[in-house]
Amino acid sequence: MDLEGVISNNPVKKDSWKTVLTLAFQSLGVVYGDLSTSPLYVYKSAFAEDIQHSETNEEIYGVLSFVFWTLTLIPLVKYVFIVLRADDNGEGGTFALYSLLCRHARVGSLPNCQLADEELSEYNKDVIFSNNKSLAGSRLKSTLEKHKLLQKVLLILALIGTCMVIGDGVLTPAISVFSAVSGLELSMSKEQHQYVEVPVACAILVFLFALQHYGTHRVGFLFAPVVITWLLCISAIGVYNIFYWNPHVYEALSPHYMYKFLKKTQKGGWMSLGGILLCITGSEAMFADLGHFSQLSIKIAFTFVVYPSLILAYMGQAAYLSKHHSIKSYYWIGFYVSVPEKIRWPVLAIAILAAVVGSQAIITGTFSIIKQCSALGCFPKVRIIHTSSKIHGQIYIPEINWTLMFLCLAVTVGFRDTKHMGNASGLAVITVMLVTTCLMSLVIVLCWHKSIFLAVCFIFFFGSIEALYFSASLIKFLEGAWVPVALSLIFLIVMYIWHYGTLKKYEFDVQNKVSINWLLSLGPSLGIVRVRGIGLIHTELVSGIPAIFSHFVTNLPAFHQVVVFLCIKSVPVPHVRPDERFLVGRVGPKEYRLYRCIARYGYRDVQKDDLEFEKDLICSIAEFIRSERRESNLGIEYLETEEKMTVVGTTSSNLDSVKMCEDDDDVSEIVGCSEMRELKHTEKATKRVTFLVPECPQIDLGAQEELQELMDAREAGMAFILGHCYVKAKSGSSLMKKLVINLGYDFLRRNSRGPTYALGIPRASTLEVGMIYLV
């Protein structure tokens, strides 16, 4: 099944209420698994060491008040009512915000952007509030576009948020599963349970990560029922505890109790905020997973199901603890102590299942965000396996999966308690939210064209709240908070080195590309023998002739009859429609048979397998040849460095385009009408290739001859020329640059994957050529 066609051809329309409610139900299992399990560890983390539970109940009421207002202001007000509206054509997350800014202020990190990319359907589809552009907003935009340093700061800010999300992918499974398993502590002594808790948690984590290879589509239908069962369970227990133990606990929702709490506990209360903020763990998933659902469905699920369930759960725990003060240790302030003893074992089982579902969501989200980073040139190429042919976004990355599992087990075995895990997870969560707040303030001005005053109010109000929690988390750096900092620093270094090296390599390609006059001086034969076949040269250049081609011409005795310069590039939009997939043009005069083909993908697009891609590539060139002389082309033309590019879609996106049949393909199924006629090759070949060309409008004799040559070349076979570049720093470069390029980037390049389409190419059809780049 063509996933890209399903996603890109999905029209924007108003969903029915049945569809919205179905999506809202499904979102409970994908989006809210992490957030819904936070009651397992919030109170335990808040009362770890910084504050004590006293007879006056000021501490427990103060914590409840902080939890209530934090859940209300951050997930409900900030995300549900504001941030969710800043989607990038339906996609959310840190890179979605960065992508929006890249398009509106031209501060993108992708070096090979073209004017043609701005004509994509999704490029400006998200522009709203575009009538009243403020002068201050225009000045801010020009300032960002002029200063490279500010662009780097913006990129690093987005990368920090992304790295913290990856760090959260390590910490969330550890703390969720460990907290769920901690219910065993009430059925055995402290000495016994610490020898049981860790092995059981590690076994569940190993099982969880081992299942990633098979995908979640087979059991995904169970996710939402598990989470909604858990939410009903904790809300019912909360209601029971409220009415049975303390019906007046609702008074603690007053902000006055926050003041009394801080006044009494002072520094200890401030430090306990690092545990309280865990109540909003997973809130970022509402925005990050927006692409799988709709804004309305996520808002309904949180506002009417998740939010009231969590408030009731926290109120119930506070009601129970307000009547039980003989607490010997913080182990007894956990979630399970407030659960009636008769139902603890069933609740323990449901909690473990909910923790697994919540962990699964963050693991899948980590895979997704690494794929986005790789597509935007900020992470080395990795092997991406699509575990479902029907559900978009179900991917598996082996290297990342096993790395996450190893780090997750190390955190679990190393810390062995929710206190240190909570400190680590809290810093990761609040850092991502701070980054979102900063980027959102820019989106308000640059994308929504609102006043700077409104953006300042947004960043001041929400930023001050998050800065308070950030300071409380950072103060516990030595007590576990160093873990997300260390993990993020490692990933940030990897991302920035890869991005820097990729940028320098592209700059070298641009500076050393071959002049068109050199090509014209060689003549149509290029000064060598042209043999049947298609030579596909992979290049990052979107215009001009790569230096590696001159290396072939001057050192090889013969070259292919048809040469295609292929560039697979990412554009700063989530999806590219199939009918806008390719940009095709000529390099040099027509008789040279040199073509350029640029395949464009969004950062959330699914690339086809090599056989489908190969067919689409050849058909796009054939369609370009057929439509070249028509007055009205199928696409929009652009003049860039002597090359006129035409937009051509995939074969599945345009029924009136050229189709290609090979070997035993059923021509009758592809033709489907009498308006198609065949151009057949008369000679017997090892692979029979047929082009199906629309009857009208008629094509001239020259185009027919060129199509015949393309068929002959395709029958003879296709050779893939892959250039292996060895990037080295120039002599005289700084020591830092030599370390980054010669050691860091070279190591990442040697251990990263090649182009996606090249993974399934037979080795006999591949020609690999090495070149040294001095940058």
pLDDT of residue 560: 82
Tens-digit pLDDT profile for residues 390-448: 555 567 888 899 999 999 999 999 988 888 888 899 999 999 999 999 999 999 988 88
Contact 419, 43 (CB under 8 A): no
The two three-digit tokens of residue 147, written as one number: 């200063």
In residues, how long is the chain?
Answer: 775
Tokens 């804004």, located at residue: 295
Q: How far apart are CA 493 and CA 501, in angstroms?
A: 12
The two three-digit tokens of residue 369, written as one number: 């965000």
Tokens 């090495």, located at residue: 770
Coil, strand or helix at 571:
strand
Strands 529-538 and 395-396: unpaired
Residue 219: pLDDT over 70: no
Q: What is the mean pLDDT of residues 244-256?
A: 91
pTM of the predicted model as reported, rounded to 2 decimal places: 0.83
Q: How far apart are CA 570 and CA 580, in angstroms?
A: 13
pLDDT of residue 247: 92
Contact 372, 92 (CB under 8 A): no
Contact 282, 32 (CB under 8 A): yes
Report the first-to-last Cα separation within the chain, whole angstroms.
Answer: 43
Greatest alpha-carbon span in the chain? 96
pLDDT of residue 635: 41
- Distances in Å between the Cα of 197 and the Cα atoms of 189, 231, 329, 663 are 12, 24, 17, 60
Burial code (b: 16+ CB inside 10 Å, e: under 16) for 426-438 equals bbbbbbbbbbbbb
Q: What is the mean pLDDT of residues 199-213?
A: 89
Residue type, 666: D
pLDDT confidence bin for 362, thresholds 50/70/90: confident
Residue 637: pLDDT over 50: no
pLDDT of residue 692: 65
CA-only gyration radius of the chain, Å:
29
Tens-digit pLDDT profile for residues 291-334: 777 888 899 999 999 999 999 999 999 999 888 876 554 445 67
Q: How far apart are CA 296 and CA 303, in angstroms?
A: 10
Burial code (b: 16+ CB inside 10 Å, e: under 16) for 383-409 equals ebebbbeeebbbbbbeebbebbbebbb
Tens-digit pLDDT profile for residues 433-489: 999 999 999 999 888 888 889 999 999 999 999 999 999 999 888 888 899 999 999
User: Can you state the angle between helices 344-375 and 148-181, rounded to 10 degrees?
Assistant: 160
